[in-house]
Amino acid sequence: MSYSVKTTKEGIDYNAVSKVLKSFGMSDCDVDTQKKIFQNSYAVSFLYDDDKLIGCARALSDGFCEAALYNIALAEEYHGQGLGRILIESIIEQVKQCNIILYTHPQTIAMYEKFGFRRQKSGMAIYHGNETELQRFEEVGFILPEGYRFHDNEYEE
């Protein structure tokens, strides 16, 4: 096995990207939409096992001050081998001059803390979806219940 990272957007198997993201419930976009999403991103990283795409990540950024990481995924059969670290380090390296925010699954918070990420109390989001989807986001821990307040913040009293 020979692992490599590609940080360009040309010659990518976006069908494989779509499959990796769908396998984790991270996106239900079709292949053409995934291609547009990644091609419109500031930075990308694709991890390969020889010729097989096994992971992806992307960043939105102004290139100077701020960046946000999205769609970081590694095929499940490759978990636990340190390959996720390679993927994450690759995307961070491309925006290292920026403050970086990350939207991630609650189960992966501890892993990202190892890269220096810290949790925020002031993050906000607007999600487009029906009540069932929003309820699932609350149950999984992606969003707090509507009206939730931190009681140690004088601005929320």
Render pLDDT for 51-108 as a digit per residue (tens, 0 to 9): 999 999 999 999 999 999 999 999 999 999 999 999 999 999 999 999 999 988 888 9
Q: What's the pTM value of the predicted model, to 2 decimals? A: 0.89
Residue 139 resides in a domain: no
The answer to the question of residue 13 being in a domain is yes
Task: Specify the CATH number for the domain of residue 11.
Answer: 3.40.630.30
Looking at the domain assignment, is residue 126 inside a domain?
A: no
Q: Phi then psi for 137, rounded to 5 degrees?
A: -60, -40
C-alpha distances (whole Å) from 119 to each of 17, 90, 115, 123, 155 are 28, 21, 12, 9, 19
